[in-house]
A = this chain, B = another copy of it.
Amino acid sequence: MAGQVQRQTGVALWRQIADRIRQAISAGAYDETGMVPPETVLALQFGVNRHTVRSAIAALAQEGIVRAVQGRGTLIERKERLNFPITKRTRFTAGIGEQAREMRGLLLSYSQEKAGPDVARGLKIRPGEPVIRMETVRKADGRPVSCATAWFPAGRFGGMPDAYKRTESITKAFAELGLSDYVRATTEITAVHADEADTAALELAPGAILLITKATNTDLEGVPVQYAISRFAADRVQFTIEN
């Protein structure tokens, strides 16, 4: 954590410093004390005014990452990243495993529509064929982890929204609909800045990063059963690929 901050135009200094401190915290730089260094020290380290550091810390406090206590210092409220294994057997709820006490999957909305070109390619059907679209939010211990838009072939999985609403799990919903097992065929990963809708749905700090996965699941015969675009809060998850 040394070095002046680069003065890049367009993003406020206090925000850049907040990012640096957040990164240092998640890298474990302050694990010994469990506290962020004093404002005066940080100001010196970053080569900025103490007030600027205060703005940065205020933002981190707003995010719930730290808590400033007058007379004592600024305490770190640690929250680990959830680890997400991506394998043939990738499952959201089960994948989280013991990392969270409670996993919930909420159905925001759903509709039947005609497959667009991307969805058709993902599900290996013809564009225009009917599909079920679901918008979901998944939470770990009440903390939003990801938003997802998922598409299913309408003929085979018309009951998906209802089953998902009851089970709050894709795996369990598939099971109810007669598909006892499925595998992850492909996963694409990119990263972008969150837009307003996702910032709101995931309770993100402004300017936050999303990890985006576009994934296809198939049944054991290789027939696509689900195409999904999931948007993960990048500061709350990491992906692990084991080969």
A193 B209 Cβ-Cβ under 8 A: yes
B243 A185 Cβ-Cβ under 8 A: yes
- Scan A76-88; emit 1 where CB is below 8 A from any B CB, else 0: 0000010000111
Query: Beyond A193-B19, A193-B209, A234-B191, is A186–B10 a contact (Cβ under 8 Å)?
Result: no
- Scan A215-243; emit 1 where CB is below 8 A from any B CB, else 0: 00000000000000000001000111111
B81 A190 Cβ-Cβ under 8 A: yes
Q: How far is the CA of A172 from the CA of B195 in the complex (A)?
A: 42
| Other-chain residue from B5, B189, B196 in contact with A241 (beta carbon distance below 8 A) | B189
A155 within 8 A of partner (CB): no
Residues of the B chain whose Cβ atoms lie less than 8 Å from the Cβ of A12: 9-12
Residues of the B chain whose Cβ atoms lie less than 8 Å from the Cβ of A23: 192-193, 195
| Contacts A/B (CB < 8 Å), 24 sampled | A6-B206, A8-B206, A9-B12, A9-B206, A10-B15, A10-B18, A10-B207, A11-B12, A11-B206, A11-B207, A23-B193, A23-B195, A81-B190, A184-B243, A185-B242, A186-B241, A187-B243, A189-B240, A189-B241, A190-B211, A191-B209, A191-B210, A191-B234, A192-B209
